[in-house]
Homo-oligomer: A and B are copies of this chain.
């Protein structure tokens, strides 16, 4: 078994700046995310969509009825950026807009059946990849991975994370 944390500390030329940089995990995180997104990227390519479409569709599917402002908040892009891609998703009938019930200026975004189907199709390989990775660990390590990923998120964005399973590990089933 490998050492838990081979600090390799011992001969820092300047002990004061002997800050240990975890390049290994930094790099792994890069590779992991790169391949994680590649699954969906290839499928998107075939239908002429990009990663931007995926992100929008994902969140509309996850939080049906969210408003444009809320979506902008989650995606952290400008409304002009959103508009271009969202328009395509609406034109292709993956997403529909309905007037807000309380505030009629708002536009609630909802996935259509077609949109739900696509969101599911895109998520499937990503979910399988995660499941496979989890399977190689111990049996009960999913909560740990979830904790780790949550902790990687900025404090001020934790609210975006805890929309559903507020604190609890959970999966959801599809249609």
Contact = CB atoms under 8 A, between A and B. Distances in A.
B19 A152 contact: no
Contact of A147 (B14, B136, B157): B136
A157 B136 CA distance: 18
Interface residues of A toward B: which range? Answer: 35 or more
B20 A164 contact: no
Contacts of A55: 30
A8 interface: yes
Interface in A116-175: 120, 123-124, 126-127, 129-134, 136-138, 140-154, 157, 160-161, 164-165, 167-175
Contacts of A47: none
A142 to B, nearest CB: 6
Nearest to A32: B152
Interface string A90-128: 000000000000000000000000000000100110110
A34 interface: yes
A45 interface: no
A152 B130 contact: yes
Interface string A66-103: 00000000001000000000000000000000000000
Nearest to A14: B175
A127 B26 contact: yes
Given A29-B36, A150-B28, A152-B35, A20 B58 contact: no
Nearest to A35: B154
Nearest to A154: B35
Interface of A: 2-9, 12-14, 17-36, 38, 55, 58, 62, 76, 120, 123-124, 126-127, 129-134, 136-138, 140-154, 157, 160-161, 164-165, 167-175
